[in-house]
Structure 1
Amino acid sequence: MPESTSSVLLPPGGQRVLVVQAHPDDAEHLCGGTIALLAREGKEVHYLLVTRGDKGSDDLHLPPEQLARIREQEQREAASVLGVQSVIFLEGYSDGEVEPCLQLRREIALVIRQLRPDVVFTFDPWRKDEVHPDHRAVGICTVDAIACARGLWYYPEQLHDGITPHAVRQIYYFATDRPNHWVDIGTVVEQKAAALRCHASQTSRKDILQWIREKGIVAGAEHKFKIAEAFHHHAL
């Protein structure tokens, strides 16, 4: 049964949230309002990024290495606007070249064990017609990492210095075509817009606030929310 409550997290809820994304600005575009609301509620929100978005420009005078540095800084600024407590970047993954592999699964599992989130937000890897390979790869590796992070004999070399297996309680998939939970972001649209403006290398839109409202109206229309973000929620 679809959930159209105004609450951010469904039962059993949770205090610590991890958002796993492929590129800087993914979270701000896809769940920035929800992140702002979680931070307002006093939740502990952390970002994990697989790449630094080094292919996100066609400017011949802006090489990938320089763009990666710019986008990392933009992401940290945007996260601060939303109230995110930490931003972690993995090493060695290039924009557009992320594959669903054991190494990535292992690295995400380690971060889950280190941060011990109750809730994980990530891409829906089963979304029909998802064309970006990084989105698909990050989504599926995150799901696989959640399964592995709770098991004693998965990557036992990680289990030292206080690191132990950890079981995530809930997953919220963004960029989904099978939503079953909607969050009313009407009170934080300006905060979401401010976060997106931090990604200056990626957008020159002057009407970004109006764009957020238009997207939010579409997402929330079916469930009578004026402005919303939509997710597929799965309790574990």
Structure 2
Amino acid sequence: MSQRILLLGVYGMEMVECGGALAINAANGGHSFASIMLARPEMQRDLHQAAEVLGIEQLFFNEFERGGVDLRPDYKLALCRVIRQTRPDIIITQDPQHSFEDLDPDRRPAMGLILEAIALAGRDYGLEAMPELQPHPVATLYYMSPSQPNCSVSLATVWQKKEQAMDCLSSQMTFSGQHFSERLSEQEQQALCPGFAELPSDYHKGREVQRAMDKALHLHTGLGSHSRFALAEPYRRQGLFELNELMV
């Protein structure tokens, strides 16, 4: 069934990490959107390319202050505006527990900002700043990469699209390649990616390690968890599942 789905991300790679769900929705005739807080110009370019692959029809870049994400009214209004413009049935965003434990900067305050904006978007907050947009409550919220998933999405039909979209993130993969070259021993590099040292660039090094990580994560959520799915994106739905009848 097609839906209106909005991803609220911090740095940008979240859009591709959730690319399976977003691409499936677009392929089913739905509308997929993404809003990113802190993407640098080169990442914005890469994300536009990835969005085309995944069928995401509109991207929003908030350009908040790095290291300064907080609950200031301007930031709340910016996210409320995106939610009211896109009017999603479903919002996907980072998992509160995972983001609290994550050592990436800004993720912890971003989580509070995101949840506050979702709540305010459905109320009469900020109407004078955007009189053309009506409040929009969002009933369904999914957390990506959760510490304790309670559902998953099969990637069988969109795995290649997700991989192709990750290929587009050249700035992130280059950064990752430099990071893994410094952080991992030669033995660890070789174990993750045979021939790591001979790869032609930091981009290729980062991409091949990311490929191994993605396959491991999605296999673990899929076959590794005795799922009927081979490769699966993990999510945690906020609140109870509301069913008219039991589902298989």
Report TM bin, short chain.
0.7 to 0.9
Select the structure of larger CA radius of gyration. 2
Q: CA deviation at 1:183?
A: 0.8
Count residues in correspondence: 205
- Normalising to structure 2: TM-score of the pair? 0.75
Task: State the partner residue of 1:226.
Answer: 230
Task: Please give the residue correspondences for 1:106-125 in structure 2 after superposition, counting only pairs within 5 Å.
Answer: 106-125=77-96
User: In the aligned structure 1, how far is the partner of 2:111 from the partner of 2:29?
Assistant: 26
Instruction: List runs of 5+ in structure 1 lacking aligned partners.
Output: 1-12, 53-67
Query: How is 1:66-105 mapped onto 2 (pairs within 5 angstroms)?
Result: 68-91=40-63, 93-105=64-76
RMSD of the TM alignment (CA)?
A: 2.1
**Contact 1:99–1:133 (CA under 8 A) maintained in structure 2:** no
Shift in Å at residue 96 of structure 1? 4.2
Matched-pair identity in %: 29
Distance 1:27 1:135 in 2: 15
2:5 and 2:22 in contact (8 A); partners too: no
TM-score by structure 1 length?
A: 0.79
Q: Equivalents in 2 of 1:142, 1:25: separation in Å?
A: 17
Q: Deviations along 1:140-197, whole A, 9 cap, x unmatched?
A: 2121111111112x22313413x11111121111121121111111221111110001
Q: 1:175 to 1:81 in 2, by over 3 A?
A: same
For 1:231, the aligned partner's letter is: Y
Q: CA deviation at 1:14?
A: 6.4
Between the two structures, name the one with larger relative contact order (CA 8 Å, sep ≥ 6): 1
Task: Note the alpha carbon deviations across 1:95-133, whole angstroms, 9 max, x for none.
Answer: 444234443222111211122111111111232522223
CA-to-aligned-CA distance 1:177-229 (integer Å, 9 cap, x gap)? 12111111122111111000101122122465554322211122224121111
Residue in 2 aligned with 1:141?
A: 113
Structure 2 gaps of 5+ residues are: 174-202, 241-248
Contact 1:216 1:228 (8 Å CA) reproduced: yes
Name whichever of 208-217 and 135-144 sits farther off.
208-217
Residues 134/20 of structure 1: CA separation in 2 closer, same or farther (3 Å cut):
same
